[in-house]
Amino acid sequence: MKLKYLGLAFMAMFLSSCKEASVQKENGITDIWYKQPAKDWMQALPVGNGRLGAMVFGDTNKEHIQLNEDSMWPGGANLGNSKGTPEDLKELRRLIDEGKVHEADKFIVDKFSFKGITRSHQTAGDLLIDFKHKGKVTKYKRGLSFANALASVTYEVDGELYTEKVIASRPDDALVIQLETSAGAGMDFDLQLSRPDDAGQPTVEIHTPEENEMVMNGTVTQLEGKVADQPHPMKDGVHFQTRLKAKTDSGTIKSNNGKLELRGVKKAVIYLVTQTSFYHEEFEKVAEENMAKASLKPFDELLKKHTEDFGKLYNRMAFKLGEETLDSLPTDERLQKFKAGNPDLDLEAKLFQYGRYLLISCSRPGTNPANLQGLWNNHIVAPWNADYHLNINLQMNYWPAGVTNLSECQLPLFDFADKLVKRGEVTAKEQYGINRGAVVHHTTDLWAPTFMRAAQPFWGSWIHGGGWLAQHYWEQYRFTQDTVFLKERAYPYLKEMALFYLDWLQKDQATGQWISYPETSPENSYLATDGKPAAVSRGTAMGQQIIAEVFANTLQAATVLNIEDDFIAEVKAKQKDLKSGVIIGKDGRILEWDKQYDEPEKGHRHISHLYALHPGDDITEATPEAFEAAKKTIAYRLEHGGAGTGWSRAWMINFNARLLDKQSAEENINKFFEISLADNLFDEHPPFQIDGNFGYTAGVAELLLQSHEGFLRILPTLPENWKTGKISGLMARGNIEVGITWNNGKLVTLTLLSPINKSVDVKYGSTTKTINLKANTKMYLGEGLNKIEK
């Protein structure tokens, strides 16, 4: 093997550290851990099987396991598809053409918007375990193992060991808890299920059909619901049943007043299943069958199957950065040290893997997509309804999917988007008079409504939710090279979006170009000529960029599929005269609107006009003027206090990666840890939004590997303090698996693996080479991108 001594030494060091880490895991060292129970929800630890999940508090007196299920929504698909008419659209455009933007702002909300809606994803309830400990608790530890998807608690009471293990098993579709003690007399505890009231009204009925079973039946309601900012009580919604069964190897179990009392128990396994009417018409029967099958299996068998299932996804990647010496400290203490100005590289690597852990846990084939809180929500009325915001948040949830080797986890997004298309076709026709294609506005929920909801025009009068989602279909193909998916799923979706835009675009009489309007820029406003804030305009940057991307990706997909028809010819014709979404203003920044306006919020958290930089790919080093303008755009935002929220800071890391700005990437990673993380490492928007976690994971991947330009960039934006590290299992577009080892900031080894014979251009620093890959044969390259024989 022709490796430099430095490479051999580093490889040996890394293998040794991996072996040590493996031994630590076997001995109970978890990825994140704490020496006290969670005092509040943002300290609890999440588990999930994609659909069913929980937050584990680890309390030794009254353990609280807050329950989650992804279809717990009130109401139904009963609010209609549209508001407003094609005639209203004509009038709105007239107001904009005449410069009456304030009238247009009011008109678009009054005529087209369902305004504010309160219809929230909700908690599935709570499991309380009331322990009867009488002695002193010592040696407490609570933790979460990512690879095993296992939450655990250990402690001693008067020298006797107590353990709690919690998994959310996908193979057996159940939440399973094992409680065990070394105490000769066993342990005593009570089990109780509950769910919060809705506006003071009970939401469940609980009974105990057997001495060791509890059943909780309920309906998700929203008695203080709102539609169009007006009271709209929702007395019906998804129906559900949660079943619990306890099994022990000793002691007794009996039911008493809606609780289960367990006494003198050495080991107990608690099985919990939840099924809903959203997934199954006969959900109660399914729940009963689900419990009957799961409860036949001992915990060790369930854990083994669960770990194997989760590991098939999670173990595709490994990432080492810095030293693991701080693993001896609780995670909250490590985080506090970071916030005090002491970066922790190993914790940065753990947060990357935590994002992957969370995505696997809340988005698996056949489930609903990850919402604003992923899956984990303890509210009846959650912040922003814990729904689906399509002006970045839902999309950011899936930025890590392709590059971190989790493409299957993105399938729920496509299942959901396909539902949006069906309703979006009706909305486009009824609301805008467009008979081809579909439109999806800014916000939606479980029932896939596509109507506009915006109490204020800047907040939600935006039509490009579906257009942005189209990027994910195309990227799924780029990463997987799955032509069946491209033909059957991606191209039909792209075509729907492109058809809508073909009929939506208007000819600008002054320039002869095709422009989109009415337009807004997500959640931002500009100062109109009278100095007052306005939102509605013509041809904003993000809208034009998304339309251009939809057209370009549609044409590329058609080329792969050998499609050439009248529709493709029409796309090409309008693409030719489409107004650019990347226009540079007099101050060198990219314009956000159709003109250079001043802004009431110069440091706004959304930087929508840089969509073409990321997640789009039209702004690169190959477009130097726009590349520099993007840098100035970011600098301006940050100078005025931008990127204050968690997800916005995570987006900034991705921007830094694309701009090859190592220093800023390092600074924004540090800021993210210092400002945006709770003790359990959830992103605090505030309040909690999971998109920041996913955006961070995607950003780290982008710093180490980029493939959006048609070639592979290796370590393009490696932060200066990431001196030494190794990552394996990253995915590049073209379905190429990539591994990278570096030392002293320099590439040591690069591995490439493709399932087919192919050539790929690879760039590292100033060196670019064409590498010929042989199917299913790992290629090893050194610092100069020269082949290393193995």
Which residue, 610, 615, 623, is CA-closest to 581?
610
Eight-state DSSP code of residue 488: I
pLDDT at 61: 97
User: 323-360: string of b/e by CB count within 10 Å (b at 16+)?
Assistant: ebebbebbbbebbeebeeeebbbbbbbbbbbbbbbbbb
Contact of 126 with 148, CB cutoff 8 Å: no
Instruction: Kindly tell me if the per-residue pLDDT of 27 is higher than 80.
Output: no
pLDDT at 76: 97
Instruction: Kindly tell me if the per-residue pLDDT of 643 is higher than 90.
Output: no
> What mean pLDDT comes out for the span 516-531?
96
With a CB cutoff of 8 Å and minimum separation 6, the contacts of 502 are 436, 437, 570, 571, 574
pLDDT at 313: 98
Contact of 216 with 123, CB cutoff 8 Å: no
How far is the C-alpha of 286 from the C-alpha of 599, rounded, in Å?
Answer: 55
pLDDT at 762: 98
> What mean pLDDT comes out for the span 23-38?
72
Instruction: Kindly tell me if the per-residue pLDDT of 172 is higher than 50.
Output: yes
3-state SS assignment for residue 168: strand
Instruction: Kindly tell me if the per-residue pLDDT of 408 is higher than 50.
Output: yes
Contact of 450 with 81, CB cutoff 8 Å: yes
Query: Which contacts of 338-343 are long-range, i.e. CB under 8 A and separated by 24 or more positions?
Result: 338/670, 338/673, 338/674, 339/673, 339/674, 341/674, 343/670, 343/673, 343/721
Instruction: Kindly tell me if the per-residue pLDDT of 709 is higher than 50.
Output: yes
* Whole-number percent of the chain with pLDDT over 90: 94
Tokens read off for 594? 């159709």
Residue 2: how many CB atoms within 10 A of its CB?
A: 11
The model's confidence at residue 30, banded by pLDDT at 50, 70 and 90, is confident
pLDDT at 3: 35
Instruction: Kindly tell me if the per-residue pLDDT of 628 is higher than 70.
Output: yes
Instruction: Kindly tell me if the per-residue pLDDT of 18 is higher than 80.
Output: no
The model's confidence at residue 9, banded by pLDDT at 50, 70 and 90, is very low
With a CB cutoff of 8 Å and minimum separation 6, the contacts of 388 are 369, 371, 372, 394, 416, 443, 444, 445
Residue range 223-252, pLDDT digits in tens = 999 999 999 999 999 999 999 999 999 999
Eight-state DSSP code of residue 46: E
pLDDT at 470: 98
Residue range 442-458, pLDDT digits in tens = 999 999 999 999 889 99
pLDDT at 69: 98
* Residue 82 exposed, middle or buried by CB count within 10 Å (0-12, 13-18, 19+): buried
How far is the C-alpha of 586 from the C-alpha of 582, rounded, in Å?
Answer: 13
- Where do we find the tokens 């020269």? 786
> What mean pLDDT comes out for the span 754-765?
98
Instruction: Kindly tell me if the per-residue pLDDT of 469 is higher than 60.
Output: yes
Listing DSSP states for 104-135 in one string gives HHHHHHHHHB----B------EEEEEEE---S
Ramachandran angles phi, psi of 455, nearest 5°: -70, -25
Instruction: Kindly tell me if the per-residue pLDDT of 280 is higher than 90.
Output: yes
Residue range 604-616, pLDDT digits in tens = 999 999 999 999 9
Tokens read off for 673? 């840890």
pLDDT at 15: 39
Instruction: Kindly tell me if the per-residue pLDDT of 208 is higher than 60.
Output: yes
Contact of 354 with 340, CB cutoff 8 Å: no
How far is the C-alpha of 149 from the C-alpha of 358, rounded, in Å?
Answer: 10
Residue range 306-342, pLDDT digits in tens = 999 999 999 999 999 988 889 999 999 999 999 999 9
How far is the C-alpha of 54 from the C-alpha of 112, rounded, in Å?
Answer: 38
pLDDT at 323: 87
Instruction: Kindly tell me if the per-residue pLDDT of 717 is higher than 90.
Output: yes
Q: What is the pTM of this model?
A: 0.96
The strand ranges marked E within 663-709 are: 705-706
* Torsion region of 359: left, alpha or beta (phi above 0 gives left; psi -120 to 50 gives alpha): alpha
End-to-end CA distance of the chain: 5
pLDDT at 22: 38
Query: To the nearest whole number, what is the mean pLDDT of the chain?
Result: 95
pLDDT at 6: 31
pLDDT at 353: 98
The model's confidence at residue 28, banded by pLDDT at 50, 70 and 90, is very low
Instruction: Kindly tell me if the per-residue pLDDT of 650 is higher than 50.
Output: yes
> What mean pLDDT comes out for the span 109-120?
96
> What mean pLDDT comes out for the span 99-117?
97
**570 membership: H or E segment, kind and range:** helix 566-576
pLDDT at 642: 84
pLDDT at 17: 39
Q: Are strands 712-714 and 758-764 parallel, antiparallel or unpaired?
A: parallel
Q: Tell me the C-alpha to C-alpha distance, in Å, between residue 252 and each of 272, 354, 560.
A: 19, 39, 65
- Where do we find the tokens 């655990």? 152
pLDDT at 759: 98
Eight-state DSSP code of residue 413: H
The model's confidence at residue 685, banded by pLDDT at 50, 70 and 90, is confident
